[in-house]
Amino acid sequence: MGQLFDHKEIFAFGSGKGGVGKSFLATNVALVLGRKGRKVLLVDADLGGANLHTCLGIPAPEANLSDFIHHNRPIQDTIIRTPFENVWLISGGQDILGIANPKHTQKMRLLKALQEVDVEVVLLDLGAGTGHNTLDFFLVADKGVMVVMPEPTSVENAYRFIKSALYRRLIVLASDPAVRDLVEKASDRRNDAGIRTPAELVEQVVKMDPTTGQMLRDSLKQFRPRIVLNQVRSLADIRIGFAMQAACQKYFGLEVDFVGYLENDDQVWRSIRTRQPLAAMGGGKLFRSFETIAFNLLSNQQLKPE
Amino acid sequence: MKPLHQQNYYEILGIPREATPEQIRKAFEMSKQTFESNSLATYSLFSDEENREILTLTQKAYNTLFNLNLRQAYDQQLQSEEQTSTTKRKTKTPASPDKPSIQSVSSQEDDLPPMGKNALQPYIAGTKPFDGSALKAARLLAGISLDELASQTKIRKTYLSYLEAESFSSLPASVYVRGFVKLVAAALSLPIEQTAQDYMNRYASATQPGQAPHGI
State how beta strands A87-90 and A257-263 pair. Answer: unpaired
Number of domains into which chain B is organized: 2
> Which helix H or strand E contains A232, and what residues bound it?
strand A226-232
Rounded-to-5 percentages of helix, strand, coil across chain B: 65, 0, 35
% of chain B surpassing 70 pLDDT: 79
pLDDT in tens, A33-42: 999 999 999 9
Q: Are residues B41 and B123 in the same domain?
A: no
Q: How confident is the model at residue A124 (pLDDT cuts 50, 70, 90)?
A: very high
B153 belongs to a structural domain: yes
Residue A34's SS3 state is helix
What is the model's pLDDT at position A257? 95
A99 touches chain B (CB under 8 A): no
The answer to whether B96 and B80 have CB atoms below 8 angstroms apart is yes
Give A76's DSSP letter: G
Q: What residues contact A109, with CB distance under 8 A and at least 6 apart?
A: A69
What is the model's pLDDT at position B98? 41
| CA pair distance B98, B14, nearest whole angstrom | 24
The residue of chain B with its CA nearest to that of A306 is: B26
What is the model's pLDDT at position B200? 92
Q: Are residues B119 and B45 in the same domain?
A: no
| CA pair distance A261, A196, nearest whole angstrom | 30
Is pLDDT of A169 > 50?
A: yes
Q: Is B20 exposed, middle or buried (0-12, 13-18, 19+ CB in 10 A)?
A: exposed
What is the model's pLDDT at position A158? 94
pLDDT in tens, A85-106: 999 999 987 665 455 567 778 8
B212 belongs to a structural domain: no
Residue type, A71: H
Is pLDDT of A45 > 80?
A: yes
Is pLDDT of A82 > 90?
A: yes
Angle at the Cα of B26 from the Cα atoms of B22 and B30, rounded to 5 degrees: 170
Is pLDDT of B164 > 60?
A: yes
Q: How confident is the model at residue A210 (pLDDT cuts 50, 70, 90)?
A: confident
| Nearest-CA distance B20 → chain A (Å) | 14
B87 belongs to a structural domain: no
| CA pair distance A81, A58, nearest whole angstrom | 10
Angle at the Cα of B194 from the Cα atoms of B117 and B121, rounded to 5 degrees: 20
B82 belongs to a structural domain: no
For the domain A9-148+226-299, what is the CATH code? Answer: 3.40.50.300
Q: How confident is the model at residue B101 (pLDDT cuts 50, 70, 90)?
A: very low
A159 contacts B44? CB cut-off 8 A: yes
Q: Are residues B122 and B59 in the same domain?
A: no
| Nearest-CA distance A266 → chain B (Å) | 25
B49 belongs to a structural domain: yes
What is the model's pLDDT at position B118? 67
| Nearest-CA distance B188 → chain A (Å) | 32
Q: Are residues B52 and B117 in the same domain?
A: no
pLDDT in tens, B37-90: 778 999 888 888 888 889 999 999 999 998 888 999 999 999 888 887 766 544
The answer to whether B31 and A282 have CB atoms below 8 angstroms apart is no
Weakest mean pLDDT among A161-170, A295-304, B79-88, B131-140: B79-88
Residues 87-126 of B with CB under 8 A from A: none
B26 belongs to a structural domain: yes
Q: Are residues B189 and B128 in the same domain?
A: yes
Task: Give this complex's ipTM.
Answer: 0.77
The CA R_g of chain A, rounded to the nearest whole Å, is: 19
Q: Are residues B117 and B179 in the same domain?
A: yes
The CA R_g of chain B, rounded to the nearest whole Å, is: 18
Q: Are residues B37 and B116 in the same domain?
A: no
- The whole-chain average pLDDT of chain B stands at 78
Q: Are residues B98 and B183 in the same domain?
A: yes
What is the model's pLDDT at position B216? 38
B214 belongs to a structural domain: no
pLDDT in tens, B3-43: 677 789 998 898 889 998 888 998 898 888 888 877 899 98
Q: Are residues B158 and B62 in the same domain?
A: no
B34 touches chain A (CB under 8 A): yes
pLDDT in tens, A214-261: 888 888 888 899 999 999 999 999 999 999 999 998 888 888 999 999
Per the document, the length of chain A is 306
CATH of the domain at B31: 1.10.287.110
The answer to whether B31 and B13 have CB atoms below 8 angstroms apart is yes
B26 contacts A251? CB cut-off 8 A: no
B76 belongs to a structural domain: no
Residue B19: give the domain boundaries.
4-66
Is pLDDT of B215 > 60?
A: no
State how beta strands A121-126 and A40-45 pair. Answer: parallel
The residue of chain B with its CA nearest to that of A244 is: B41
State how beta strands A87-90 and A79-81 pair. Answer: antiparallel
B77 touches chain A (CB under 8 A): no
| CA pair distance B125, B128, nearest whole angstrom | 8
Mean pLDDT of the A163-181 span: 86
Check residues B187 and A300 and name the one with the higher pLDDT: A300
Q: Are residues B127 and B181 in the same domain?
A: yes
What is the model's pLDDT at position A114? 92
CA A95 to chain centre: 23
The residue of chain B with its CA nearest to that of A243 is: B34
Strand partners, A81: A88
Q: Are residues B52 and B110 in the same domain?
A: no
What is the model's pLDDT at position A196? 78
Q: From B61, B60, B59, B58, select the one nearest B17 (Cα to Cα).
A: B61
What is the model's pLDDT at position A29? 96
Check residues B88 and A205 and name the one with the higher pLDDT: A205
Among B1, B3, B34, whose Cβ lies nearest the Cβ of A246?
B34
- The whole-chain average pLDDT of chain A stands at 87
| Nearest-CA distance B45 → chain A (Å) | 7
| Nearest-CA distance B2 → chain A (Å) | 6
Q: What residues contact B145, with CB distance under 8 A and at least 6 apart?
A: none
Residues 244-263 of A with CB under 8 A from B: 244-247, 249-254
A202 contacts B41? CB cut-off 8 A: no
Q: Are residues B123 and B202 in the same domain?
A: yes
CATH of the domain at B182: 1.10.260.40
- The domains of chain A are located at 9-148+226-299, 165-219
A240 contacts B41? CB cut-off 8 A: yes
